[in-house]
Structure 1
Amino acid sequence: MQPAPPDAPRTTILPSLEGLLRFLPQTAEPTDRRVAIVGTFPPRRCGIATFTADVRRSLNLLDGWACDLVRILDDDEALTEEPALYRIRQHVQTDYRKAADRLNHLGIDVVSIQHEFGIFGGIDGAYILDLIDRLTAPVVITMHTVIETPTQGQRHVVAALLRRADQVIVMAKKGADLLNDVYGADPAKVTICPHGTPNRPFARPDSFKASLGLSPYKVLLTFGLLSPGKGLETLIAAMPQIVAAHPDALYVVLGATHPNLKRVDGEAYRDGLIRLAEDLGVADHIRFVDAFVDDALLLTYLSAADIYVTPYLNQAQVTSGTLAYAIALGKPVISTPFWHATEWVDETCGALVDFGDSAGFAAVISRLLEDPAQLLAAGQSAYAKGRTTIWERSAEAYAAAFQTAITRRQEPHLPAPRLTDQSLPSLLAVQRVTDACGIMQHASYGIDNRAHGYCIDDAVRALILIQRFRELGHKNHTLDHLERTYAAFVQHAWNPDTQRFRNFMGYNRTWLEAEGSPDSNGRTFWALGETACYAEHEQVRLWAIALAKEVGPSAATLGSLRAQCFTILGAVSLLHGEPHNLAVYDMLVQHAEGLMARFETHSAPTWQWLEPSLSYDNARIPQALIAAGVSLSRPDMLAIGLKTLAWLDTIQKSPNGFFRAVGSSTPATAFAPPRLLDQQPIEACATIDAALAAYAATKQSKWLIMAQTAHAWFFGENDNGLPLSDQRGGCFDGLTETGVNRNQGAESILALQMANCAMARVTSVGISPPARPIGLSM
């Protein structure tokens, strides 16, 4: 920071913090709560599509709720006339972000995500996080599958979903137990809502058989998309013994081959089942119905069945829609003991048989068919159980979860008041200090000081700022040009001989050092992570991913506290897009554990900090702990991050409640109180980012207030009562003892605009059309 020129006049352009409450939106209670349900949808042939359609239909029949659709399309799926708020192409990452922007614009009250691995794009379905991260409405996630032994990538995605969700729905107690035990879910967030089922009267099977050509058989039925995991071989192998006791037994296998299996192997699996039946001499007692049936035909087949059979081979199935339907229609169920079945099937309504035990299935089924009274009693017991799961009850349970999510979100959101354009994101000043090489480091007043040239610190701050604009949904040639300029500077700064980035470059475009400081290297890794995660263009993302991979071993060895914090922030962003990246994961764990050790070493009851003195960019330290705690599902890290941020807030607050940045002249003496001046913009910017990270992790409004207080510092709510922003997106270099430092260096300008973008993420700024950022041609 250069010496300060003469002071500016004292003016205040924003009201006090208390006055901000007057700008809170006053909304009327709508007649219906609007729900957007995100999932696959018919005619796509999968269980989630059917479930999504049923949930939507049931909610629309419930008073007080209106449910619209955001439809996930696979590569082969054609558009239909079915109305939808948005259609997301499964493997197009930007579609997820655009869908979120659309839902935000429409003012949806709650978003219901139907989650299943395989229906969302990205590694382990990570693209769905792009949608959830941008949503302003509460999010309720239905977990159709909960994996007991997930891969690292699956664990990362599920943990991220659980953190971001306001409520989580599972369909079985086992699912709730796994979320709690394996993924560390908050039990208060998790609701058990059994799979919904049709509301049909109890009926005897014989009255439905004729229409399907099933008279006079005793019908065993399995329904679902054919795949090896269904265990159909087990039941086919049981049929000779069953037929010997009951020559009128017929096993109906209802369902098309799973599309993914058919795409690879054609009908080889079905043909193998048919050959097995022929080899066992029971081909005439097994009927394959190769069709993806609609609800009406499915219910007719279920009604015609005497016994429903689920011989599944995999215990780890939390939900089976077909099992739920069979019970609801009053079918005795003979099943293997997969998780969902163990919670619903007992001796009153059927039986459980060991996996792969064909003889056991044959014995149980034969005994049940021999006793019509017992068969009827088992069906009536199943029907009674199923009454609690009909779609009307399911819709009510969903509505209750939605209302809980909405209620939990009803804490004050403090929007940046639109008294001036200065609180809106702007690139005018950023463009002013950027040339074809990079971004000028310092300025005399508002004139570039070429004597100080360029530095990578500011280039990567600018690259991060570009990604902040990307997060707000903006894309244009100006952003593209600036992004490529800063990226090229970063690329040129990498010194493969030293395995470090250079930092300072003269105006004559010669490097002034072989390697930069550890902090500048850590900050550069952070920018690469942000760019890899949020860049609009694939070539830029691939560049950032490749360079981050090359730089990674060097970043893992950075030893300074802030360098480690910056590296953590970059690693968290990289893992957002590449949850399977073990090298980045290990680096994140290593540096985060290092921060925890520092806290243990230096903290004391009155000094809740990771080093014996306060320095610069202080809030990045708790921000890194919060980000690592969230990413690694480490409540202990998150707790220390929140504790240190709360302590820092007490240090950075004046008696009248203003934000008071730790002055850059604060001595490095152990436990020394901070100097009031010179206060620099990067402290306010870092505090805003850290506070909003804390809010995202806890939904506690005190963190929003902290962010707003730090943001107001730029506009005059500070010790000197002087604004640091100007009308063209610039920012003065800091508060001095007598006024403001009137120079406008790149660091200060970037800090203001990063702060404006951050606050725009928690308000409508930068999303709704009236808030178009200044200096952008959209």
Structure 2
Amino acid sequence: MNIAYLIPYSHPYDGIADYATEMARQLDPFAQITLVQVVPDHDSQHNGLPLLIRKNRLNDYVNAAHYINRHCDACLIHYLPQGFGMDHGMAILTFTAALTIPAAAIVHDLSGHPNDTLKSILQTLGHHLCNLIALSRQSADVMEHLCKIPGDKIKVIEYGVPLLQLPSRDIIRKRCGYEGKKVIFAHGMLHHHKGLDVLVEAMSMIRLKHPDAMLHFIGCTHPMEFQSGGEKYLTALLLQIRRAGLQNEIVIEHRLPSVDELNLYLAGCDIYVNPCTQELTLQSKSLAEAVVAGAAIVSTSTLYARDLLSDNRGELVPVNNPLALAETVSQLLKKNNTLEMLRKSSRDFRSLFIWSRIAGRYHKLLDEMCQTEPKISIEQRFIDVALIPHWNNAYMMMAAESHTCGDASGDVKLSQGRCRLETHAMAVMGLLKMEHHQPDAMLMSQLNHHLVQIKSMLDDNEAFENLSVCDQGKIVTHQDEVIGLVFCVLAQVVVSAPWVEQRQMAAELLKISMPAVMTTTSVNGIAASLIGLCIYLEQHPDDSLTQQARELAAKLTGLFKTHASDGWYWCDDKMGNMPGMVPLALLMMRDVIKMKGNREMIEKSISFLEHVFFSEDIFFPAGTKRPLRKGRTKAEFDQSAWDAVSMTWLYDYLIKKESEPNHYKHLFACYLWFIGENSMRRNLYNYRSGGCAHLLTPGVLAVNTTYSGTLAYLLSWIMTSEAACRQYLQ
């Protein structure tokens, strides 16, 4: 039996890759293992090998599936949302859709409240695969009852943990340096839900009753925590210890221990504490390791711990309650008999997790899967991933250094910081979206640069102004559309920027810009502002802001009623730039602030745009040299990349809400415009440099790539890549 074994990309410190590798080693006696590894996009060792998948290259997933179909009997996948490309690892769907052999997926990092996107992905995996494997009974319940996956598709197979032959407890304590001390031990990945700050606070109280007590923690900062805040949590923890005067009583080793070393600490400590602050935690490898090592366990009352430590296998305390934690630990440290009883309960229960048993269960499952009939691969429905080339973050860095802004600022470099305000705003939007797909510190540095530039472009009255290029960089003109666009982008930063400082700066700028937003009169300014408000209100409900959004919505619908007529369904007598934002704003009015009675406006405005901008499935935007007006035929040139982006954004939103075939087709047509499927059959995207032009212009032989055009392509690429994965969602 030849098993394809797919390991997701993960940070070396998060333990998933090590666990997956150990499982492959345990399965090796039962089957021939063909390893398939997801690697970073820039991995130089790929060289077209079918068994390495670059994280965000969708065609790699399809090619790997085709190879596996020919050479393997079944496939076992470790599904880790951040371990695959696109939103919540949605790129895995392009792989599972192309598989014809039986397959199963082990679901990691499932929370008690999965969001709608994760639910849809799991439902689709349940449809594509023979089985989904839950690592605990609580995870299985969430899959079945919240994600609506049929119960017969779900198998529960717990974490596998090695069972080591350990010396006596006295020898272990001497090796660990625990002699003569009452040792409280904890380990795992450091993050703000770990609860180590709660345990440190409890230690001050424990030491009052047990002066010989010490806390030993060993582990690294979680990669996701490090990505969003560096070592902020660790630093705060060390300062907390310093203020409490416990530097000699609390030892924090910021590293990953070996398996042998960890087992010694777990077996040698007096009490193992799991202070997790997330009550809805469904799985915990660190708790399973403590059970197998035979530790006496005290844990906060998470869903997983309640089940694991039932029948007196451990003590439970309320979440986020240092007083209760201190009291429980202090009482146990007085009762050696109780501690020994808890250790014995752990040892008696550890057979549930030891690798020999777990590997046997996987072998049985894989053997059963191989007896099933091959399935038919699911065809790519609307978007061909082979037509979506790879994107590299380095392209943005090169564009920032070498390309001109590509706007009315003239021939200036972005690095000179004198581009127009809307270019900085669009840069923030593109970099923010890219960060969610390919986290990169250099991109975040660029994002900070653009936010600072936006902040510097406030006039004395604290209203946003448009920056015109001149030697002194003075603010000279005012544009409603720019105000709305910047407001819209800042709302996205507040909602989804990875760094707290970025979110705080954007929130401050949002507040400052609100008066100017409410006086906006242009159609695009109102639409963009309304989109920004709706994005913000989805995550941060606010009655006052909802009322202001309704006021803007009334303006937009009033303009539509005033200007719309037979054959012209728009909010003005002329159409401005980025026309897709108007129906997008109407849609968000309906969905977020629950404005009723605009259904006809939504349908007519979208149909109108499709009539004007699409011809025989080719995207054909209106030329910018002469604005499209009521009663006038559209100009053919110059065609703007940002018109394509606005329409892509519109269809991206529609796909997430309705998933109609035509939405996928129109979105893909907008993307194909960049790579040559346009009225001139000219490629605006430069495959060699990764840059892109921002205008399709007749009579120009060489394509002049710009930062603005590269940003437009990037946004279109991200939304199209996500749609290519979403086309498989159930």
TM-score (norm 2): 0.54
Contact 2:8–2:79 under 8 Å retained in 1: no
How much has 1:104 moved relative to structure 2? 2.3
Change (3 A) 1:332 1:230: same
Change (3 A) 1:150 1:555: closer
The alignment status of 1:71 with 2:163, answered yes or no, reads no
How much has 1:158 moved relative to structure 2? 2.2
Separation in 1, partners of 2:667, 2:348: 47
| Structure 2 counterpart of 1:569, from 649, 658, 661 | 661
1:242-282 CA distance string (max 9 Å, x none) = 22222222211111122333344332321211221222232
Contact 1:38–1:69 under 8 Å retained in 2: yes
> Residue in 2 aligned with 1:89?
54
Structure 2 unaligned regions, length at least 5: 389-565, 571-604, 620-640, 671-725
Amino acid at match of 1:57: R
How much has 1:235 moved relative to structure 2? 0.9
Contact 1:238–1:358 under 8 Å retained in 2: yes
> Residue in 1 aligned with 2:625?
none
Change (3 A) 1:274 1:97: same
The alignment status of 1:104 with 2:72, answered yes or no, reads no
Separation in 1, partners of 2:616, 2:349: 54
Higher RCO (CA < 8 A, seq sep 6+): 1
Change (3 A) 1:336 1:379: same
How much has 1:68 moved relative to structure 2? 2.7
1:615-674 CA distance string (max 9 Å, x none) = xxxxxxxxxxxxxx99775xxxxxxxxxxxxxxxxxxxxxxxxxxxxxxxxxxxxxxxxx
Contact 1:34–1:67 under 8 Å retained in 2: yes
Contact 1:156–1:631 under 8 Å retained in 2: no
> Residue in 2 aligned with 1:200?
164
Contact 2:43–2:54 under 8 Å retained in 1: no
Separation in 2, partners of 1:272, 1:548: 43
Amino acid at match of 1:72: V
Contact 1:191–1:401 under 8 Å retained in 2: no
Amino acid at match of 1:56: A
> Residue in 2 aligned with 1:115?
79
The alignment status of 1:259 with 2:223, answered yes or no, reads yes
Amino acid at match of 2:56: H
The alignment status of 1:35 with 2:3, answered yes or no, reads yes
1:354-397 CA distance string (max 9 Å, x none) = 00111211121122221222211111111111112101111111
| Structure 1 counterpart of 2:151, from 181, 187, 206 | 187
Amino acid at match of 1:198: P
Separation in 1, partners of 2:258, 2:669: 37
| Structural mapping, 1:481-520, within 5 Å | none
> Residue in 2 aligned with 1:51?
19
Amino acid at match of 1:252: H
Structure 1 unaligned regions, length at least 5: 1-32, 415-424, 426-462, 472-495, 501-514, 530-540, 557-563, 579-628, 634-778
How much has 1:51 moved relative to structure 2? 1.6
How much has 1:177 moved relative to structure 2? 1.1
The alignment status of 1:170 with 2:134, answered yes or no, reads yes
Higher gyration radius (CA): 1
The alignment status of 1:157 with 2:121, answered yes or no, reads yes
Amino acid at match of 2:314: G
Contact 2:62–2:95 under 8 Å retained in 1: yes
How much has 1:85 moved relative to structure 2? 6.5
User: After alignment, is 388-397 or 398-407 more displaced?
Assistant: 398-407
SS in 2 for 1:44: coil
SS in 1 for 2:83: coil
SS in 2 for 1:316: coil
Separation in 2, partners of 1:545, 1:258: 35
Change (3 A) 1:551 1:119: closer
1:28-64 CA distance string (max 9 Å, x none) = xxxxx11122124788221211220121111113x3x
Separation in 2, partners of 1:253, 1:630: 45
Aligned residues: 444
Change (3 A) 1:271 1:555: closer
Contact 1:197–1:390 under 8 Å retained in 2: yes
Contact 2:382–2:661 under 8 Å retained in 1: no
> Residue in 1 aligned with 2:298?
334
The alignment status of 1:280 with 2:248, answered yes or no, reads no
Change (3 A) 1:212 1:468: closer
Change (3 A) 1:103 1:498: farther
| Structural mapping, 1:120-139, within 5 Å | 120-139=84-103
> Residue in 2 aligned with 1:538?
none
Separation in 1, partners of 2:655, 2:282: 41
Contact 1:528–1:570 under 8 Å retained in 2: no
How much has 1:222 moved relative to structure 2? 1.1
1:472-523 CA distance string (max 9 Å, x none) = xxxxxxxxxxxxxxxxxxxxxxxx96689xxxxxxxxxxxxxx9x99x98xx
> Residue in 2 aligned with 1:364?
328
The alignment status of 1:406 with 2:370, answered yes or no, reads yes
Amino acid at match of 1:60: D
The alignment-based identity, stated in percent, is 22
Change (3 A) 1:631 1:469: closer
Contact 1:156–1:632 under 8 Å retained in 2: yes
Contact 1:525–1:551 under 8 Å retained in 2: no
SS in 2 for 1:381: helix
SS in 2 for 1:283: coil
SS in 2 for 1:118: helix
Separation in 2, partners of 1:122, 1:552: 14
SS in 2 for 1:237: helix
| Structural mapping, 1:612-651, within 5 Å | none
How much has 1:544 moved relative to structure 2? 8.0
Amino acid at match of 2:37: R
Amino acid at match of 2:58: Q
Separation in 2, partners of 1:150, 1:217: 42
Separation in 2, partners of 1:104, 1:576: 28
> Residue in 1 aligned with 2:534?
none
1:161-188 CA distance string (max 9 Å, x none) = 2221211100111111111111110111
Change (3 A) 1:464 1:300: closer
Separation in 2, partners of 1:319, 1:100: 29
Amino acid at match of 1:134: A
Separation in 1, partners of 2:90, 2:359: 28
How much has 1:206 moved relative to structure 2? 3.1
How much has 1:554 moved relative to structure 2? 11
Amino acid at match of 1:307: I
Contact 1:528–1:547 under 8 Å retained in 2: no
Change (3 A) 1:555 1:339: closer
The alignment status of 1:318 with 2:286, answered yes or no, reads no
Contact 2:266–2:294 under 8 Å retained in 1: no
Amino acid at match of 2:27: L
How much has 1:202 moved relative to structure 2? 6.5
SS in 2 for 1:318: coil
SS in 1 for 2:298: strand
Amino acid at match of 2:28: N
Change (3 A) 1:41 1:152: closer
Separation in 2, partners of 1:67, 1:265: 38
SS in 2 for 1:178: helix
Change (3 A) 1:334 1:78: farther
Separation in 2, partners of 1:142, 1:297: 27
